[in-house]
Chain A
Amino acid sequence: MSELKVKTMADCLANGETPEILFWVGCAGSFDDRAKKITKAIVKILNKVEMSFAVLGTEESCTGDPAKRAGHEFLFQMQAMNNITVMNGYGVQKIVTGCPHCFNTLKNEYPALGGNYEVIHHTQLIQQLINQGKLKVEGGNFKGKKITFHDPCYLGRANNEYEAPREVIAKLDAELVEMKRSKANGYCCGAGGAQMFKEAEHGDKEVNIERSEEALALEPAIIAAGCPFCNTMMTDGVKHFEKEESVKVYDVAELIAQAADL
């Protein structure tokens, strides 16, 4: 595996460099073992196209999304103000992130607090890179494989981005199959609104089991996701049905990184 080239904003400042884009890693992408792999896949892609980017590293803090959705507005705004102070200090203009929750919060809720940035999701960036010819992908071992894409609520319904991840998957020459509940009709993985961090309320089923069942019914080789939380939820669901040998859950960035042999 090639060495990851990652700079922090502080490094850049010290060297007098201004990176083109800030890569917002997010809490899951920084600390969760499974999500770290997605983070690395994104970095590999950025390295491959030699994009000038930096991360905040230890200066990054949670965007406040779970606090906001759980109703702790005060905590959310404290987090937001902290992050905005740091980012504005570095003169950040453009942000890419691998987490739809960070994406949504940075894009929609930071501006009113003084944080105005152009924010894109990593699937949108990958789509742009492919379309601009900067990143070449061929199907490789995904050719002809059945892939279904699970729309993250905070990318899809919350921000109307349904096409970027699908276009990227289409570049793999794979067979993209849709679940009945997809795009605007998509079904939550069960992690949003701070549910990731608590036991579900009493019911007769877990949301991620319901969703994984729907995905597995298509008998895909791969369930693609674009969110670290969806990824965890779907992975757990696949395990629940003991299908982890035959069905893999990958982030779109991981699919591209693998196909491009990075």
Chain B
Amino acid sequence: MQFGITNVIFLVLLGVTGFVAFKKYASLIRNIRLGKDLNRNDRLGDRLNVLLRVALGQSKMVVRPVAGIFHIFVYVGFIIINAELLEIIVDGVFGTHRAFSFLGPVYTILINSFEILAVLVILGCLVFLARRNVVKLKRLNMKELVGWPRNDANIILITEVCLMSAFLIMNSADWYLSTQVSKFPVVVKEFGLEHYAHSGVSENAFLLSPWISGWMPGINYIVYIERFCWWFHIIGICGFIMYLPYSKHLHILFSFPNVFYSNLEPKGKFNNLESITNEVKAVFDPSFTPPADAVPGKFGAKDVSDLTWKQLLDSYTCTECGRCTSVCPANTTGKLLSPRKIMMATRDRLEEVGRGLDTQGPDFKDEKSLLHDYITPEELWACTSCNGCTEACPVNIDPLSIIIDLRRYLVMEESAPPSELATVFANMENNGAPWQFSPADRLNWANEN
């Protein structure tokens, strides 16, 4: 064990990452809390069940087998290889070398599975890059992805390829040093490599390392390769943690709570606005007084703070995969609506409000709103409320609920439904049917031939 300047640098790196990440994640959580209350702490068993199936089990990912299988590689690889991160941190902090190698055969199995998974992750990322940039899959090349969303996706995929490559090369170089270095006593002395020789890894422990290290330049350089990759890997991971909150890849963290707090009710069941129930009750019974704690509030949603925290969490969780949009009947017939864009717009607006609060304090207000500035009525009115999007979303996001809340604002606050719907409403009020028929004729069918 050696403790020196590198360990200090390492600790500073961890500290900075922790601080920056803490601040940014705290602001994300603050933003989500701008949303309205919604109780999703019921039915714990069902929630754990959906978490297990949909988030951990990836059950909705595999509905599309190619993306599903490669995603599982990347997902499992990412989770498991991060166990290796623990060792890197221990080594980095305490100046140890392969701190966990005392685990013996278990360690061998672990590292071997890491190596294989790293290869699978690289493969997965390459396939995903190809689908985006070479095959140009339609749902990954639509207009709402132009610019940052597309770069974001590519940056992260390339970063993952680099990180995994660094991990593999680091491990291979290290294997070489720990098992072969004793054959070069002069070099050991010259470069101070003694500690590598005692890492406790046996010569034929790993499957891939010997093979990869065979490609490396002479022994004199391998130690630099090993150190470089070690630092590259850990700096990369720190960078990744700081980058995540700006990226659609936030889903690797948020999809778990998001799925846990899924809507467990039948998809067709929309909430009944309570403020309206009070009004309607008062119409039916003039002596009715609404409960004291009833908040009048506005009807429907105009801006992000009128949505619930879950709808806002949804927006941060959206991976922009476009599975929703590719099944949306409105979108697939060329209409302006894209449920993915609804989610992206909600997040963009929420971020904008969050920045405003950061710079101008809690009284921040601007001239903009989610409705109109980010999402137009034309998009909203194209929705058939078919629930195709909510069914397709691999992380149980509900774009339809936002669409309906915005429509509610359009209709009840702005009185701006499309003209045909205004007629339908009038008919329903006057005749109890969307068409202009007399209620007295409702039973005519029974006597007609």
Contact = CB atoms under 8 A, between A and B. Distances in A.
Given A27-B435, A197-B434, A207 B384 contact: yes
A108 B265 contact: yes
Interface in B1-59: none
B387 A157 contact: yes
B439 A61 contact: yes
Contacts, number: 217
Given A67-B425, A77-B272, A113 B387 contact: no
Interface string B323-342: 00001011011111100000
A211 B265 CA distance: 28
B395 interface: no
B439 A192 contact: no
A72 B387 contact: no
Contact of B334 (A39, A58, A203): A203
B383 interface: yes
B392 to A, nearest CB: 8
Nearest to A158: B268
Contacts of A192: 384-386
Given A72-B412, A75-B428, A207-B333, A153 B439 contact: no
Contacts of A160: 266
Contacts of B439: 58, 61
Contacts of B268: 104, 108, 153-154, 157-159
A185 B329 CA distance: 11
Interface residues of A, number: 74
Contacts of B214: none
B421 A70 contact: yes
Contacts of B334: 202-205
B384 A79 contact: no
A71 B411 contact: yes
Interface stretch (B82-90, B174-182, B279-287): B279-287
Contact of A188 (B384, B404, B411, B429): B384
Given A36-B448, A62-B432, A194-B424, A69 B404 contact: yes
Given A108-B268, A187-B329, A193-B385, A40 B445 contact: yes
Contacts of A194: 421, 424
B280 A55 contact: no
Contact of A71 (B281, B408, B443): B408
Q: Which of B268, B270, B404 gathers most chain A CB within 10 Å?
A: B268
B443 A55 contact: yes
A241 interface: no
Interface in A162-192: 181, 184-188, 190-192
Contacts of A1: 449
B269 interface: yes
A197 B425 CA distance: 10
A41 B41 CA distance: 45
A82 B404 CA distance: 23
B433 A62 contact: yes
B382 interface: yes
Nearest to B439: A58
Q: Which of B334, B391, B433, B446 gathers most chain A CB within 10 Å?
A: B446
Contacts of A68: 270
Interface string A71-83: 1111101110110
Interface of A: 1, 4, 6, 8, 25, 27, 29-31, 36, 39-40, 43, 55, 57-58, 60-62, 64, 66-75, 77-79, 81-82, 85, 104, 107-109, 112-113, 153-154, 157-160, 181, 184-188, 190-207, 210-211
Given A30-B443, A67-B428, A202-B336, 14 more contacts: A6-B443, A31-B433, A57-B442, A61-B439, A66-B421, A68-B270, A104-B268, A113-B272, A153-B388, A188-B329, A193-B384, A193-B386, A197-B420, A207-B330
